[in-house]
Amino acid sequence: MAGATAARGWTQILLRYREPNLLRSILELAITFAPLAALWVLMWLSYSFGFWWLTLLLAVPAAGFLVRLFMIQHDCGHGAFFRHKLANDWTGRVLGVLTFTPYDFWRKTHSVHHATSGNLERRGMGDIDTLTVKEYLALSRWGRLKYRLYRHPAVMFGVGPAYLFIVQHRLPVGLMRAGLLPWLSTQGTNAAIAIIAGVLIWFIGFGAFMLVHVPIILLAATMGVWLFYVQHQFEHTQWADNKTWDLHEVALHGSSYYVLPPPLGWFTANIGIHHVHHLCSKIPYYRLPRVLREYPELGTIGRLTLWDSIKCVRLTLWDEAAQKLISFRDMRKMRNARTV
């Protein structure tokens, strides 16, 4: 309980960082969109002159800028990028066309993620599917195989992101019966994507569009899923049942502080400072580093380096007895030890 009280105390302290700066927000939007547009044109030109290898090479930084646009959309969804709701919502909706992510639908599912993160009894929306050891062992062989395939890195960071952003986001999956807004959001975004794609294909051709735009989308999708994964799927994250779950405690200790080199921190819009973001989601991303500078003790909580994050890929099951995430191998060792 002391931990929960301390976490609530941090939430109160962080309230003073919430106020967005209009000029800073506009500048952030400009220095993200303009380079992306310029890189897109350069990719098309390099393709036109036969330098397809340069086209693919330029897709890497272009994807970085698209991830950054997604993070701006993310802040808009939290009402953190501008003061006024209309400015946040319409900026988010326009960016949702570029990121292949219907804004109003995603905002709803993401708000559920923030409200239920780390609650074992409220899993299933806006998070990575995670089973407990007991749940996994209760599955049939087919069920275990499906879960293993789902958690395999090739699926989680290869096939999965492409499916999520290109296919699944075309329908309000999870909110199919939640009224008209999720459908308007997804289908309005789909229509805008189709119009823009149609115009671009008309001017530059189908082959050029596929080689220029699709690699950007696929790389950005993988980067986005990776970031979301490591923000909650690390060894000492927190999960709890309804009786012991506390929103603020899990926000602080169930979310990681992903320590990235400054250039990667810039491209990912400081989303690695995720524990602070979960404690107070209305802080604009450009204020998050200031929080750590003024309260360095927050930088010691949930700290993950790049190397640490790579090791997180093996963590697949929640061990309720040990209160941590473990791998399939750890589970087998645990079961073998019990039978000896």
What is the per-residue pLDDT for 339?
65
Give DSSP secondary structure letters for 68-108: HHHHHHHHHHTT-SSSSHHHHHHHHHHHHHHHT--HHHHHH
For residue 1, is pLDDT > 50? no
Indicate the pTM of the whole model: 0.94
Q: Which domain holds residue 67?
A: 2-339
Q: Is 271 helix (H, G, I), strand (E, B) or coil?
A: coil
Give the pLDDT mean for 178-207. 95
What is the per-residue pLDDT for 340?
52
Tokens read off for 256 = 């990681």
Q: How many domains does the chain have?
A: 1
Q: How far apart are CA 181 and CA 252, in angstroms?
A: 32
**Which tens digit of pLDDT belongs to each residue from 58-100?**
999 999 999 999 999 999 999 999 999 999 999 999 999 999 9
Give DSSP secondary structure letters for 30-41: HHHHHHHHHHHH
For residue 8, is pLDDT > 90? no
With b meaning 16 or more CB within 10 Å and e meaning fewer, what string describes 186-225? Answer: bebbbebbeeeeeebeeeeeeebbebbbebbbbbbbbbbb
For residue 333, is pLDDT > 50? yes
Tokens read off for 110 = 């993401």
